[in-house]
C-alpha cells in the first residue's frame, strides 16, 4: 500500500486520461443500451408530463410553491436524466469485487483504488452525459418551447454538475466501503439510492417539501448533487453572489465527503477478507 | 394430476435449497429486507409530500391513490418473490451457463424460475398489505366475502401482467446478445403502474393498455373494489387477458430457450 500511495501522490495525468478513455471505449460497445436508456428516459418524460399536468389541472393557481408546471416537469425530467448518467453502479462494482476477490487485482495496481475508480467512472459519466443527457435536454427544450434559458446558466450548470458528480462519487465510495463489512450489496445500494434521490429532490422537487423537512435536507450533502445543478440550470435570474454561495457549498461538500470516504476506506482496508485470499 | 404433484414436490425441494443457502448470509437477508421497506417508505413519503401541496389528482383523492399504490405493491410481489431469476437470465445466457438448465427432465422455464425465491419481496408484500388495509378503512369500503374474492382475482390477474412483461424483457436475451440492461429499464415501468391511467390522453391510454399493459397492474383491476359503480369492460376482461398475456410471454421465453445453443465452449 505504501508503494501505491507514493506513486499515486505523483500526479500522473496520462494514466488518468487512459482510464477515462478505456472506460468510454467500453461503453461504446453497448450501443443498444444507450438506445434503451434513452427510451426509458422518454417513457419517464411521458409519465411525468401527464401526471403533473393532471396535478396542476386540479389546482386553480398556475404556480405552487413558486414552481409552475413547466418548472416542475423540467426539474424532474432532468433530475432523472442526471441520475441515469451519474449512476455508475460503483457500490455494485465494489461489492462484487469484494465478493469474488477481483478487488485484490486493483489494490496491487500502482494507483490508489479510489483514484482508479474515480477516473473509470468519470469516463462513463462523461459518455452517458453526452449520449443521454444532452439529447434529453434538447427534447425537453423542444417540448417546452425552449423554456430553459440558453445563457450563462449553462456554464453554471456544468460547474455544478461536475461538483455534484464528485459528491455522488464520494457518497458511493463511502457506501461501497460498507460492503467490506456487510457482504450485502443489493440492500445497501438500494438504501443509498433511495436516500440520495429522495433527499436530493430528484423524486419530489425540494420546493414542495414541508418547511421542517426542507431545513433538515439543506443540512445534508445530497441536495448538492441534484438540486443545486438543476436550480442553477433552470433559473437564470439568480444573483451572482447566490450562485457563488451555492457552488462554494458544493465545494465544501466535495472536500468533506472525499475526506470522509477516504478516511473510512483507510480504516476499513485492513478488514478486507477475500475468497481464498 | 400426478404431473402437477410431481412438479409441486420438486418446486418445494428446489425452493428449500435456495432458502437454506440464503439464510447462511443472515446479515444480507436483514439488510435487503430493510432496503425493501425503505424503498416503499420513501415512495409513501413522496405521496404524502405531494398531497400536502395538492388535494387531488384528476379527481382521485389521496386515499384512492394510496389504494392504487398498495394494490400495485401486492400485485408486484409474486414477480419479486417467485420470478426473480429472470433478472439473471441474460448473464447465464451470455456466459453459457444456461446450458445446465437444458439437461434436466423437467420444463426449462419451471426449473429456471424455481431456482430462486427472493425473500425480501415479503417486505414489500407487508408494506403493500398495510397500505391497502389502511386506505381501505379510510375510504370506508365495505368488507364482504364477495369483495375479498374479487380482490384476490384482481390481484392475481394484475400479477400475471407484470410477470408477463418481465418474461418478455428477460427472454429478449435469447434472441439478441447482451440485453441485460433491458430488464432494468422495463422493471421501472412498475413505478408507473401506481398512477390512474386517466391522467393520460387517448393515445397513451391505448399504449399503456394494449402495448405495454401497465394499466392492468393496478388501475383496471382495482376499480372493481374502489369504484364499483363505474367498472369498465376492460376490468372484467383483465383476468382472461392476464392469463393470455402470461401464456404468450411463456411461449416467447420457451421458444427462445429452445433456440439456445450454448457458447460453444
Give the pLDDT confidence of B56-85 residue by residue, as tens digits: 888 888 999 999 999 999 999 999 999 999
Taking an 8 Å cut-off on Cβ atoms, the answer to whether A58 and B33 are in contact is: no
Taking an 8 Å cut-off on Cβ atoms, the answer to whether B178 and A30 are in contact is: yes
Could you read off the pLDDT of A121-131 as tens digits, one per residue? Answer: 998 899 889 98
Enumerate the domain spans of chain A. 2-271
List the single residue in A47, A189, A203 with the smallest CB-CB distance to B192. A47
List the single residue in B35, B49, B201 with the smallest CB-CB distance to A204. B49
Q: What is the pLDDT of residue A6?
A: 47
Residue A12 has pLDDT above 80, yes or no: no
| Chain B, nearest residue to A51 by Cα | B199
Query: A29, A50, A62, A68: best mutation site toward chain B, by most B Cβ within 10 Å?
Result: A50
Average pLDDT over residues A254-272: 90
Taking an 8 Å cut-off on Cβ atoms, the answer to whether A59 and B181 are in contact is: no
User: Smallest CA–CA separation between B245 and chain A, in Å?
Assistant: 22
- In sequence order, which residues have a C-beta less than 8 Å from that of residue B114 and are 6 or more positions away? B10, B11, B14, B15, B82
Query: B120, B127, B199: best mutation site toward chain A, by most A Cβ within 10 Å?
Result: B199
Average pLDDT over residues A105-109: 81
How far apart CA B173 and CA B190 sit, in angstroms, is 20
Residue A7 has pLDDT above 60, yes or no: no
Taking an 8 Å cut-off on Cβ atoms, the answer to whether A187 and B28 are in contact is: yes
List the single residue in A54, A184, A187 with the smallest CB-CB distance to B58. A54
How far apart CA B98 and CA B9 sit, in angstroms, is 23
C-alpha closest to that of A132 among A225, A203, A40: A40
Taking an 8 Å cut-off on Cβ atoms, the answer to whether B52 and A51 are in contact is: no
Which chain A residues are closer than 8 Å to B34 by Cβ? 187, 191
Percent of chain A past pLDDT 90, that is, above it, reads 31
Could you read off the pLDDT of B19-48 as tens digits, one per residue? Answer: 888 777 778 888 888 888 888 899 899 888
Q: What is the pLDDT of residue A4?
A: 46
Residues of B at the A interface, defined by Cβ within 8 angstroms? 25, 27-28, 30-36, 38-39, 42, 45-46, 49-50, 52-59, 120, 176, 178-179, 181-182, 185, 188-189, 192, 195, 198-201, 204
Range ranked top by mean pLDDT from A24-33, A174-183, B214-223? B214-223
Could you read off the pLDDT of B209-261 as tens digits, one per residue? Answer: 999 899 999 999 999 888 888 888 888 999 999 999 999 999 999 999 988 87
More confident residue, B76 or A4: B76
A216: contact with B, CB 8 A cutoff: no
A142: contact with B, CB 8 A cutoff: no
- Interface contacts (A, B; CB < 8 Å): 106
Q: What is the pLDDT of residue A256?
A: 97
Q: What is the 3-state secondary structure (H, E, C) of chain B?
A: CHHHHHHHHHHHHHHHHHHHHHHCCHHHHHHHHHHHHHHHHHHHHHHHHHHHHCCEECCEEHHHHHHHHHHHHHHHHHHHHHCHHHHHHHHHHHHCCCHHHHCCCCCHHHHHHHCCCCCCHHHHHHHHHHHHHHHHHHCCCCCCHHHHHHHHHHHHHHHHHHHHHHHHHHHHHHHCCCCHHHHHHHHHHHHHCCCCHHHCCHHHHHHHHHHCCHHHCCHHHHHHHHCCCCCCHHHHHHHHHHHHHHHHHHHHHHHHHHHCCCCCC
| Chain A, nearest residue to B32 by Cα | A187
* ipTM of predicted assembly, 2 dp: 0.78
Average pLDDT over residues A94-114: 82
List the single residue in A51, A194, A203 with the smallest CB-CB distance to B199. A51
Could you read off the pLDDT of A43-81 as tens digits, one per residue? Answer: 887 888 888 888 888 888 888 888 888 888 888 888 888
How far apart CA B247 and CA B190 sit, in angstroms, is 20
Could you read off the pLDDT of B167-179 as tens digits, one per residue? Answer: 999 999 888 876 7
Question: Whole-model pTM above 0.90?
Answer: no
Query: A204, A206, A275: best mutation site toward chain B, by most B Cβ within 10 Å?
Result: A204
Enumerate the domain spans of chain B. 2-259
Distances (CA, A) of A58 to B46, B59, B88, B157: 18, 8, 43, 31
pLDDT band at A11 (very low <50, low <70, confident <90, very high): low
Taking an 8 Å cut-off on Cβ atoms, the answer to whether A186 and B35 are in contact is: yes
Could you read off the pLDDT of B118-168 as tens digits, one per residue? Answer: 888 888 999 999 999 999 999 999 999 999 999 999 999 999 999 999 999
A92: contact with B, CB 8 A cutoff: no
User: Smallest CA–CA separation between A48 and chain B, in Å?
Assistant: 9
Residue A264 has pLDDT above 70, yes or no: yes
Amino acid at each position: 500500500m505504501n508503494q501505491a500511495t507514493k506513486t499515486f501522490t505523483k500526479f500522473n495525468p496520462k494514466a488518468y486520461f487512459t482510464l477515462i478513455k478505456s472506460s468510454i471505449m467500453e461503453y461504446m460497445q453497448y450501443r443498444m443500451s444507450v438506445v434503451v436508456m434513452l427510451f426509458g428516459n422518454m417513457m419517464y418524460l411521458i409519465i411525468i408530463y401527464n401526471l403533473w399536468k393532471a396535478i396542476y389541472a386540479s389546482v386553480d393557481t398556475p404556480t405552487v410553491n413558486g414552481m409552475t408546471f413547466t418548472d416542475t416537469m423540467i426539474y424532474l425530467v432532468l433530475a432523472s436524466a442526471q441520475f441515469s448518467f451519474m449512476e455508475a453502479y460503483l457500490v455494485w462494482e465494489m461489492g462484487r469485487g469484494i465478493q469474488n476477490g477481483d478487488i485484490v487485482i486493483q489494490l496491487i495496481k500502482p494507483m490508489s483504488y479510489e483514484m482508479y475508480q474515480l477516473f473509470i467512472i468519470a469516463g462513463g459519466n462523461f459518455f452517458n452525459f453526452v449520449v443521454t443527457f444532452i439529447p434529453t435536454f434538447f427534447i425537453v427544450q423542444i417540448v417546452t418551447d425552449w423554456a430553459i434559458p440558453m445563457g450563462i446558466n449553462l456554464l453554471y450548470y456544468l460547474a455544478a454538475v461536475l461538483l455534484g458528480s464528485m459528491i455522488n462519487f464520494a457518497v458511493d465510495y463511502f457506501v461501497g466501503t460498507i460492503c467490506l463489512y456487510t457482504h450485502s450489496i443489493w440492500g445497501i445500494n438500494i438504501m443509498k439510492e433511495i436516500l440520495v434521490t429522495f433527499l436530493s429532490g430528484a423524486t419530489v422537487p425540494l420546493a414542495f417539501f414541508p418547511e421542517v423537512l426542507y431545513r433538515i435536507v439543506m443540512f445534508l450533502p445530497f441536495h448538492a448533487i441534484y438540486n443545486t445543478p438543476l436550480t442553477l440550470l433552470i433559473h437564470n435570474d439568480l444573483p451572482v453572489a447566490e450562485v457563488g454561495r451555492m457552488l462554494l457549498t458544493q465545494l465544501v461538500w466535495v472536500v468533506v465527503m472525499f475526506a470522509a470516504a477516504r478516511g473510512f476506506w483507510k480504516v476499513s482496508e485492513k478488514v478486507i477478507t477475500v475468497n481464498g485470499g | 394430476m400426478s404431473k402437477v404433484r410431481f412438479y409441486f414436490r420438486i418446486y418445494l425441494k428446489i425452493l428449500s435449497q435456495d432458502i437454506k443457502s440464503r439464510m447462511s448470509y443472515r446479515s444480507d437477508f436483514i439488510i435487503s429486507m430493510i432496503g425493501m421497506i425503505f424503498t416503499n417508505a420513501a415512495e409513501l413519503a413522496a405521496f404524502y409530500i405531494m398531497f400536502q401541496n395538492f388535494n387531488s389528482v384528476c379527481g382521485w383523492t389521496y386515499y384512492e391513490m394510496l389504494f392504487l399504490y398498495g394494490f400495485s405493491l401486492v400485485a408486484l410481489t409474486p414477480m419479486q418473490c417467485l420470478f426473480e431469476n429472470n433478472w439473471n437470465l441474460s448473464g447465464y445466457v451470455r456466459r453459457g451457463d444456461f446450458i445446465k438448465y437444458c439437461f434436466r427432465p423437467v420444463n426449462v422455464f419451471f426449473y429456471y424460475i424455481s431456482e430462486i425465491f427472493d425473500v425480501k419481496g415479503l417486505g414489500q408484500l407487508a408494506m403493500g398489505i398495510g397500505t391497502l388495509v389502511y386506505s381501505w378503512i379510510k375510504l370506508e369500503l365495505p368488507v364482504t366475502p364477495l369483495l375479498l374474492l374479487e380482490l384476490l382475482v384482481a390481484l392475481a390477474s394484475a400479477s400475471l401482467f407484470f410477470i408477463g412483461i418481465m418474461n418478455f424483457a428477460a427472454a429478449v436475451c435469447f434472441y439478441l446478445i447482451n440485453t441485460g440492461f433491458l430488464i432494468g429499464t422495463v422493471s421501472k415501468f412498475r413505478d408507473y403502474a401506481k398512477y390512474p391511467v386517466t391522467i393520460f390522453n387517448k393515445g397513451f391510454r391505448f399504449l399503456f393498455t394494449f402495448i405495454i399493459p401497465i394499466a392492468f397492474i393496478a388501475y383496471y383491476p382495482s376499480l372493481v373494489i374502489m369504484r364499483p359503480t363505474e367498472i369498465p369492460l376492460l376490468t372484467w376482461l383483465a383476468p382472461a387477458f392476464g392469463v393470455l398475456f402470461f401464456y404468450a410471454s411463456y411461449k416467447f421465453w420457451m421458444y427462445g430457450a429452445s433456440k439456445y445453443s450454448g457458447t460453444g465452449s
